[in-house]
Amino acid sequence: VRSSSAVPAASSAFSKVNAIYVPQNLLEKYKLMSIWSDVASLLHPISAYKDKEQYTLVTRGMVDMGGSVKWAACNLGANSPEESGNYYAWGEVEPKREYTWSSYKWSKGSSNVITKYSTEDKKSILDQEDDAAYVQSDGSMRMPYTSESWELIHGCFWESMTYKGIKGHFVYGLGTGNIIFVPAAGYYFGFERKKEGEYGKYWTNYSGSVNASDIFSHSSGVDSFEELRHVGLTIRPVCD
């Protein structure tokens, strides 16, 4: 593996497919991708390892991983791939010290009263002003849709890896020759950082009210998952 530097409005209607919330207008595409995933799961190890020396770890900029968007080489707030970057509660645009319901911007002290992106307002996709990646990048990046995170999860090969002393995954963009490193940065609950070196948890821009969708990487692989919105997770931005 070599190392180098490299320089939307969505439908409000979603279906839950295998614990992944997918926009209705992408559901047919998802079904087609699901068929491909069954085949790709068999081809991934062969494809990645056969030509492993042809893949380059990209450490800066936005990276083509073979899907519909480009992915950042680093976490939001990080300067290099192995850095965790900043942690954000879902729908907040600044990091902080305390990640609890009482400190969460869009609640009134508990999960019982959610003031935005709730069953009351029926909003599920982050507005740009509540998208940390969009705000912190002055609009050049954003948080991924769940369908885009699905592309990264199932359209790429994930290899457990320690890079510069940090545990995480090399993610191979099959057919692109590119690799990004996704650190197991853990998460913040209350004042405490948990599961560093074990889990990577990365927000998408979709919420089902109390929980929001995330990319969950672990020692056995990677999945689409959900997390309580007040918890502090890392963000891996995308751009169109």
Ranges of residues in the chain whose predicted pLDDT is under 70? 1-51
Q: Please compute Rg for the chain using Cα positions.
A: 17
CA dist., res. 41 & res. 132, Å (int): 32
CA dist., res. 86 & res. 79, Å (int): 11
Q: What is the mean pLDDT of the chain?
A: 85
Tell me the percentage of the chain whose pLDDT exceeds 70. Answer: 79
CA dist., res. 187 & res. 196, Å (int): 7
Task: Calculate the dihedral angle through the C-alpha atoms of 37, 43, 44, 49, rounding to the nearest 10 degrees.
Answer: -170
- Residue at token pair 């885009």: 148
Half-sphere exposure of 216 (CA within 13 A, CB side): 12
pLDDT score, position 130: 98
pTM of the complete model: 0.82
CA 211, 212, 213, 214 torsion-angle sign: negative
SS3 for 193?
A: strand
CA dist., res. 218 & res. 197, Å (int): 9
CA dist., res. 45 & res. 149, Å (int): 20
Q: Which helix (H) or strand (E) holds 2?
A: strand 2-4
Tokens for 130, please give them: 């509540």
